Amino acid sequence: MRLIMNDSGNDNYLLTPGPLTTSLATKQAMLRDWGSRDTDFIAITRRIQDRLLNIARVADSHVAVPVQGSGTFGVEATLGTLIAPGQRTLVLENGAYGKRIVTILERIGHQVSVLRWPEDQQVDPTALDAALREDAAIEHVVVVHCETTTGILNDMVAIGRVTKAHKRRLIIDGMSAFGAIPIDGDSVPFDALIASSNKCFEGVPGIAFALIARQWLELAEGNAHSLALDLYEQWRGLEANGQWRFTPPTHVLAAFDQALAEHREEGGVAARHRRYGGNRDILVQGMRELGFETLLADSVQAPIIVTFLMPADSRFEFTRFYDDLSARGFVIYPGKLALADSFRIGCIGALGALEMRAALAAVKATLEAMGIDDLASKATNQTSSLNRTGT
């Protein structure tokens, strides 16, 4: 049975951290061909830039620079552009996306220091304080706001306070948080915040962007290791005539514009945070009632994606679970943990309480189809062919 409940027009709901379920109007915004030099199209890019800056309350101090590609393109472009050759960067790592940041910096040839925590633990600001006190050569700090590997939330206010007390630059990978987890330039004095169109803003994939302190970007000419991922040149190009240097993802931008309008109509970050929080609570409670265990303590669980431990029950086969849920209209996400075998279910996208309850009903029906009515919930080492794949 397929369940179609909201106006997404989907036959499948994506309970994944992006691409995710988008509204029908966002999809329909892509039904027009735009000339990349049209005044109307240039206005779309400008409107998106302005909205993003306003959402983060940094319109006076920062600029918004979009770049073609997925989120990783935005991360690599930002790090490559802002960090000058020879400068040292400290990465606070508690998951796969922090690790990817380290890989990017090493690949570019930058000097990297790493503070590492287990995937189920938050970054500790006191360790950051000690590291910055000890090593004067560190000029920049990079951290992931919500580590999508597990769904753990890092404390940006504390990290921002410590970083600024030591007068270092702060770069935040806010990919899976910006738009739904409150963050703004007043409470977190960030120098760069990176995110993409297809997570909490509920656009389609294809654009990443960074909100960058103007004064820092102005100093970044000639830093970038890459022509296409040079955000300084991208910014100068857009400033000059509103046009993208290279072919813009026109349809993706039109959809992002619509998605941002819906974000505002819904009530902005606060409203989206409320809806996703409601989704998470329904999901966690319902899954626990069915016998599943969450990886994270509730106190650090972001309303973005929830990691469930693979049940010990020998009747539970993840591949079959995934396929059956998919056939019932709900796509979930394999785990990405080094720590334990797991799977993830997202709370973000054009979804609400109705869809989350329907997803739980589908999970229950799937368990019953597997002959399980009393799931033995203890964690297991069971591995699946689907696990540890994906983005």
Ligand X SMILES: Cc1ncc(COP(=O)(O)O)c(C=O)c1O
Q: Choose, by CB under 6 A, the member of 119, 120, 173, 230 that binds ligand X.
A: 173
Shortest distance in whole angstroms from residue 82 CB to ligand X: 16
CB 35 within 8 A of CB 242: no
Shortest distance in whole angstroms from residue 152 CB to ligand X: 11
Nearer to ligand X, 151 or 248 (CB): 151
Shortest distance in whole angstroms from residue 161 CB to ligand X: 21
Q: Choose, by CB under 6 A, the member of 17, 80, 249, 311 that binds ligand X.
A: 17
Q: Name the burial class of residue 242, with classes exposed (0-12), middle (13-18) and buried (19+) by CB atoms within 10 angstroms of its CB.
A: middle
Query: With binding defined as CB under 6 A, does residue 144 bind ligand X?
Result: yes
C-alpha closest to that of 355 among 370, 345, 369, 366: 345
Q: What is the distance between the terminal CA atoms of the chain, rounded to a whole angstrom?
A: 29
CA atoms 177, 178, 184, 185: torsion sign = positive
Residues 6+ apart with CB under 8 A from 368: none
Shortest distance in whole angstroms from residue 148 CB to ligand X: 3
Interacting residues with ligand X between 59 and 78 (CB under 6 A): 70-72, 75
Shortest distance in whole angstroms from residue 73 CB to ligand X: 7
Neighbours of 5 (CB within 10 A): 14
* Cα 103 from Cα 129, distance rounded (Å): 23
Nearer to ligand X, 13 or 97 (CB): 97
Q: Choose, by CB under 6 A, the member of 68, 148, 234, 294 that binds ligand X.
A: 148
Please count the residues of this chain forming the interface with ligand X, following the rule CB under 6 A.
14
> For tokens 């650090």, what's the residue?
300
C-alpha closest to that of 98 among 49, 57, 56, 159: 159
Q: Nearest-CB residue to ligand X?
A: 71
* Cα 181 from Cα 13, distance rounded (Å): 22
Shortest distance in whole angstroms from residue 304 CB to ligand X: 8
Interacting residues with ligand X between 183 and 222 (CB under 6 A): 196
- What single string gives the DSSP state of each residue in 37-81? T-HHHHHHHHHHHHHHHHHTT-TTTEEEEEEES-HHHHHHHHHHH
Taking contact as CB under 6 A, which single stretch among the options 118-126, 150-158, 170-178, 315-323 is the one that binds ligand X?
Answer: 170-178
Taking contact as CB under 6 A, which single stretch among the options 173-181, 272-280, 287-295, 310-318 is the one that binds ligand X?
Answer: 173-181
Query: With binding defined as CB under 6 A, does residue 163 bind ligand X?
Result: no
Shortest distance in whole angstroms from residue 242 CB to ligand X: 25
| Helices 231-241 and 71-82, packing angle to 10 deg | 100
Query: With binding defined as CB under 6 A, does residue 97 bind ligand X?
Result: yes
Nearer to ligand X, 147 or 341 (CB): 147
Nearer to ligand X, 342 or 377 (CB): 342
Binding-residue pattern over the window 268 to 287 for ligand X, x denoting contact by CB under 6 A: --------------------
Give the residue ranges of DSSP H helices in 178-317: 214-218, 231-241, 250-266, 268-289
CB 200 within 8 A of CB 272: yes
Binding residues for ligand X, rule: CB under 6 A, are: 17-18, 70-72, 75, 97, 144, 148, 173, 175-176, 196, 391
